[in-house]
Amino acid sequence: MFLWRRILSYLRPHRGALALAAVASALYAALDALSIVVFIPFLGTVFGVAGDAAGGNGTPAEGIDRALDNTVGRFVDLDGEPQAVVGGIIVFILLLIVIKSAVDFARSWLSARVEQGVTRDLRNEVYGHLLQLDLSFFGRVRTGQIVSRLTHDVEHLRTLVAAELIKAVSSVLFFAATLFWMLVISVSLTVAAFVVVPLTMLIWGPLVRRLRRGDRAVLDMAGEVGAHIQETVSGIRMVKAASAEPQARKRFVGLTGDYFDTFLRTARLRALAGPMTEVLVAVGTAILLWYGARMVVMEGSLTGEAFIGFIILSTRLYVPVKYLGKLPALVQPGLAGAERVFEFLDAPAEGRDREGAIRFTGVRDGIRYRDVRLEYREGEPVLSQLSFRAPAGAVVALVGPSGAGKTSIVDLLGRFHEPVAGAVEIDGTDLRDLQLASLRGALGVVSQDTVLFHDTVRANIAYGSEQAPRERIEAAARAAHAHDFVMKLPDGYDTVVGERGTTLSGGQRQRIAIARAVFRDPPILILDEATSALDSESERIVQAALEELLEGRTVFVIAHRLSTIRRADLILVVDEGRIVQQGSHAELMDQGGLYARLREMQFR
């Protein structure tokens, strides 16, 4: 029940349009039913019986006569000359159709407005929450699964909240309007028409539960297929370099095969909905024909034209009945999608600002790590008893084996992770007491894996700043030794660099990333293997750009190539989440230990 309340909450912002759509649906249902009922006096007039009962107590005929007098009779004289009555009814039917069509247009437009409004709100909420999740979430959830929930699952939830529920409301209103006229014509005949309803409910219960499990499995498999495509596209160079195309294809064929089998199992259950409903409708219709004919021919409690009108109404009634009968099966993909989307939305967002948090204005004294302990999983420390001090304006280098925890150390500076013990302080203030936006706005990051977006050079340099002066962007590019090659591009600074900057070389991408850092003018700079993937010529140019970038900043450098960090003010040697040595290059070489061994291995 809670799941349904949460799903329906997405309709609340659109309750005005939804209410108008419901009113239009109710009016449409009433006009549609009346357009059928009006044929009863038409048939009675044409066949010369004028709606009188053939016998019996006459109560059903009197009921329909009164109802017709209060509706059609207000516009057409049903007791007048037959030709005039027929003409009046025909005009009345045409007017009903015109009004009904106008109402149907309003209903469809309002329903579309609600549907797209819900879609927009859903996508905005899910994407907004995605941006608030901490890095650990992205580390444990595959990209393809995230994309699947943002696309397929949101679409299923949108279909459930907007399309299916609006159709369900319309069907209920259509059912109610039709049922009203059926009851007016004959209560006992209406009861006979619903004999099969309990049997329908008995059959649908177990089927719905199995459909829910099946639809959840289908969505999970769709996420796996999407994740594999994402991995293949992002790592296509490695796939080709390793001649692993057959292996990748085999794995993909296996995933699509599993999806195919899972989908068909669920589709087989859902396919039962139509035939089961049709059979039950046929049984109900047979009962209705037998009992109605008996009332007309043997009992004389119902007129022939009233029975014909009732039959036509009952056939229209089965349209919403069949839809509502299949509704439990139709909503299962949406419910499964809703569960997956809500799991995503319920994932904890990264830490927000503490009450009274202050704005970060720069580093004046230094940055200190005090007995820091970091865990990604409870009981499994990534960093332990980590303590050191980086003076303001110093260049601090982090070296050590892969997986030692170097990147985790600098991630703490931007509060991408929070320590479970100890603290990271700037000028004596715990980072958690600083406003997160101002802290991250003071960080500049240049990494080996340069991130450029499918946008212009200008937008990539000024990323995060909507109104950036052209002069400032170009000044940043010149400082990064990027201006000259940018001006040679087809559209200069307005050239679109392609996804992940594929139209640029590695050195050009890196210089754009450095220009972005210069543009931000951060007091704290992080260089994560910034030149390790470049050729010698590109590295020389990028190193020259970095030299200018280091001036006046507190810098953290992660490097495996020890030749690049000899001039660092402080070198931290990290191993298994601990600092095992620290000092200058000369001091560490005198100490021996891990630093000296790493250097000897590189230069051997």
Among 23-32, 399-408, 563-572, the minimum mean pLDDT is found in: 563-572
pLDDT classification of 51: cutoffs 50, 70, 90: very low
Least confident range from 236-250, 381-395, 565-579: namely: 236-250
Q: What is the per-residue pLDDT for 54?
A: 36
Residue 341: its pLDDT value, please?
81
What is the β-pairing status of strands 421-426 and 366-377?
antiparallel
**286 and 420, same domain (yes or no):** no
**Contact predicate 446/510, CB 8 Å:** yes
The radius of gyration of the chain from alpha carbons, rounded to an integer in Å, stands at: 37
Q: Which residue has the tokens 């406003």?
A: 435
CA distances from 161 to 3, 16, 334 (A): 12, 16, 8
Determine which of 62-66, 111-115, 174-178, 387-391 has the lowest per-residue pLDDT on average: 62-66
In which element (H, E) is residue 218 found?
Answer: helix 197-234
Same domain, 131 and 147: yes
Whole-angstrom Cα distance, residue 471 to residue 293?
89
**Is the domain of 467 the same as that of 428?**
no
Cα 299 to Cα 57: distance, rounded to the nearest angstrom: 10
Instruction: Let me know whether 107 and 46 are in one domain.
Output: yes
Q: Report the CATH number at residue 469.
A: 3.40.50.300
542-to-171, 479, 560 alpha-carbon distances in Å: 67, 11, 17
Q: Are residues 404 and 458 in the same domain?
A: no
| Range of lowest pLDDT (112-126, 209-223, 455-469, 564-578) | 209-223
Q: Write down how long the chain is.
A: 604
> Which of 311, 345, 379 is at the close of a domain?
345
Token digits of residue 362: 């720069």
User: In 9-81, which ranges are continuous DSSP H helix?
Assistant: 15-37, 39-46, 59-70
Q: Please indicate, yes or no, if residue 341 is contained in any of the structural domains.
A: yes
Q: Is residue 52 predicted with pLDDT exceeding 50?
A: no
Domain containing residue 15: CATH number: 1.20.1560.10
* Domain, as residue range, for 306: 2-345
Query: What pLDDT, on a 0 to 100 scale, did the predictor assign at position 368?
Result: 93
pLDDT given for residue 139 in this prediction: 65
Give bridge partners of residue 582 from the DSSP assignment.
572
Task: Please name the residue that has the structure tokens 């990534």.
Answer: 382
Whether this model's pTM surpasses 0.75: no
Q: Is the pLDDT of residue 571 over 50?
A: yes
Q: Which carries the bigger pLDDT value, residue 396 or residue 208? A: 396
Q: What is the DSSP letter of 295?
A: I
Tokens found for residue 193: 């028409």
User: What strands lie across the sheet with 380-391, from one edge to the other?
Assistant: 380-391, 366-377, 421-426, 429-430
Same domain for 240 and 291?
yes
Residues 497 and 415 in one domain: no
Contact call for residues 400 and 375 (beta carbons, < 8 A): no
Structure confidence at residue 190 (pLDDT): 81
At residue 58 the predicted structure's pLDDT band, cuts being 50, 70 and 90, is very low
Domain-embedded: residue 491: yes
Looking at the structure, tell me whether residues 331 and 469 fall in a common domain: no
- Mean pLDDT taken over the chain: 79
- The residue assigned the tokens 């009968």 is 325
Contact 358, 433 (CB under 8 A): yes
The SS3 call for residue 362 is coil
Six-digit token pair at 455?
Answer: 């946008």
Q: Are 446 and 527 in contact (CB under 8 A)?
A: yes
pLDDT of res. 423? 92
* Domains identified in the chain, total number: 3
Last residue of a domain, one of 345, 378, 403: 345
Residue 592 lies in a domain: yes
pLDDT of 360 higher than 80:
yes
When pLDDT is cut at 50, 70 and 90, the band that residue 371 belongs to is very high
Residue 575 forms part of a structural domain: yes
Of the chain, the percentage scoring pLDDT greater than 70 comes to 84
Is residue 393 predicted with pLDDT exceeding 50?
A: yes
The whole-number pLDDT of residue 565 equals 74
Contacts of residue 596, defined as CB under 8 A and 6 or more positions apart, other chains included, come to 588, 589
Say which residue, 48 or 289, is predicted with more confidence.
289
Query: Any idea which of 19-23, 47-51, 281-285 has the lowest mean pLDDT?
Result: 47-51
Query: What does the pLDDT look like over 437-494, one tens digit per residue?
Result: 888 888 888 877 777 888 888 888 888 777 788 888 888 888 888 888 888 888 888 8
Bigger pLDDT: 370 vs 123 = 370
Instruction: List, for residues 294-339, the tens digit of each pLDDT value.
Output: 887 777 777 777 888 888 887 777 677 667 766 766 677 777 778 7
| Residue 350 placed within a domain | no
Q: What is the pLDDT of residue 562?
A: 60
Render pLDDT for 504-519 as a digit per residue (tens, 0 to 9).
877 788 888 888 888 8
- The three state secondary structure string of 522-571 is CCEEEEECCCCCCCHHHHHHHHHHHHHHHCCCEEEEECCCHHHHCCCCEE
Indicate whether 264 belongs to any domain: yes
Instruction: Quickly state the pLDDT bin for 53 (edges 50, 70, 90).
Output: very low
- Give the pLDDT band (50/70/90) at residue 529: confident
Nearest to 412, CA basis, from 403, 425, 399: 425
Query: 536: buried, middle or exposed (CB in 10 Å: 19+, 13-18, 0-12)?
Result: exposed
Range of lowest pLDDT (205-214, 572-581, 591-600): 205-214
pLDDT confidence tier of residue 60, bands split at 50, 70 and 90: very low
Model confidence band, residue 373 (pLDDT cutoffs 50, 70, 90) = very high
* Tokens standing for residue 159: 């279909």
Based on the domain organization, do 596 and 456 belong to the same domain? no
User: What would the two tokens of residue 307 be?
Assistant: 């029975």
